[in-house]
Amino acid sequence: MRADSIEGTGVRLRRYRAADAGAVRAACNDPLTQRFLPALPRPYTEADAQRWVTEGAAAAFPSGGNFAIADPGTDALIGSVGLLYVQENVGSIGYWIAPQARGRGVATAAARALTEYAFTAGYARIELRTELENAASQRVALGAGYTREGVGRAAGARPGGRDDLIVWARVAGDPPGPTPRHLPDLPGGELTDGVVRLTPMRAADAPAVQLLPCAPAAPEETVRYCAHADAAWLADQEIRLTIRDVATGAFAGRAGLTVRHPDPTQAEIDCRLIPARQGHGYATRAVKLLCGWALTGTALERLVAGVPTPDLAAQRVLERSGFVREGQERRTGGRTDLYRYALLRPGS
């Protein structure tokens, strides 16, 4: 790879220059950049930046390459993208974006441009790895046409340990993207009926989620559950939402959908409330909101639920939401039998 400049949609990939050092230093000292690039020096000094733009950025050539991402209008550095040679015809792509340029699709455009150029240069497969908590980078992978292949256990090094990483890849001949999603984002980022509000779960929700009767015994498990909610959603595996009171913003519980593979058109619904919010209609409102969107705004065609036979309150919630009882699942070993309910896409 010997290109001096690669043009992308709204971005230009070019060689680093000595004048880029200040922008590199500022971006590499940003807390979010350092959070997801654990190999960066802390702090990232002027000497580190000068060394990168004069020596480090060119170190991977000729097998791979590192580029400054520049604003095509001003030529100012707004990020970095690089391709590391892994083995014959296989490379690994990585990137970071300066804080002032985030949220504009810069990383997606840069990743797509460098990936396409790599294919023309003879690469057959490009890999991309993201942390489970780095939802923004996962969205870049999807936007650039990458396919999620699985989770590499302990695949990423960090000070004091190792982290699991999601493994993504594109091969020559794959469409350029975006990669289709069966479980899209909520319209406007939330669902509400004016009384309850459903929003995507975040890491900061862990203390509230821990109050639920169904929460894991270990708080650190709840932290992971909440922090990895976006990763599960972007993988088309599970939707995790918080339920809040619109008037006060108070946490009321959680709701969600789990796709029942190998049938990606069917999902199991779940809704749990903290004791103080039970018996006030929150569960029925949340289930109606979630089901109404899921069966009209996603690829799902059938929602199911299993309710213990003595749980009359949960049965009433499902029936008020349009679910039909289809049968009883008998269970052994002292476990409670379940009633099985289902709700179909309108017109099915």
Together in a domain, 221 and 150: no
Residue 146 to residue 137: CA distance in whole angstroms: 11
- Domain end: 145, 171, 197, which one? 171
Domain of 210, in residue numbers? 187-344
Residue 336 lies in a domain: yes
Q: Is the link from the previous residue into 178 a cis peptide, with omega within 30 of 0?
A: yes
Together in a domain, 161 and 301: no
pTM of the complete model? 0.91
Together in a domain, 219 and 257: yes
Residue 171 to residue 96: CA distance in whole angstroms: 22
Residue 181 lies in a domain: no
Low-confidence ranges of the chain (pLDDT < 70): 1-3, 59-63
Residue 140 to residue 124: CA distance in whole angstroms: 20
Together in a domain, 334 and 193: yes
Q: Regarding beta strands 302-308 and 266-273, do their DSSP bridges make them parallel or antiparallel, or are they unpaired?
A: parallel
Together in a domain, 228 and 287: yes
Q: What pLDDT was estimated at residue 88? A: 87
Together in a domain, 56 and 194: no
Rounded to the nearest 10 degrees, the angle between the axes of helix 46-54 and helix 21-28 is 120
Residue 177 lies in a domain: no
Together in a domain, 215 and 287: yes
CA angle, 273 as apex, 272 and 278 as ends, to 5°?
Answer: 130
In one-letter notation, the amino acid at residue 296 is: T
Among 306, 300, 303, 310, which residue's Cα sits nearest to residue 327? 306
Residue 302 to residue 168: CA distance in whole angstroms: 29
- In the chain, how many domains are there? 2
Together in a domain, 136 and 212: no
Together in a domain, 108 and 257: no
Together in a domain, 254 and 289: yes
- Domain end: 141, 171, 201, which one? 171
Residue 58 to residue 61: CA distance in whole angstroms: 6
Residue 180 lies in a domain: no
Residue 208 to residue 186: CA distance in whole angstroms: 22
Q: What pLDDT was estimated at residue 157? A: 84
**CA distance between the termini of the chain:** 53
Residue 53 lies in a domain: yes
Together in a domain, 295 and 204: yes
How many CB atoms within 10 Å of residue 17?
Answer: 14
Together in a domain, 146 and 255: no
Q: What pLDDT was estimated at residue 113? A: 95
Residue 258 to residue 184: CA distance in whole angstroms: 14
CATH number at residue 317: 3.40.630.30
Alpha carbon separation from 308 to 222, 284, 336, 339, 344 (Å, rounded): 24, 17, 6, 6, 21
Residue 236 lies in a domain: yes
Residue 36 lies in a domain: yes
- Domain end: 142, 171, 200, which one? 171
Question: What is residue 217's DSSP assignment?
Answer: S
* Side-chain-side CA neighbours of residue 91 (13 Å): 29
Residue 31 lies in a domain: yes
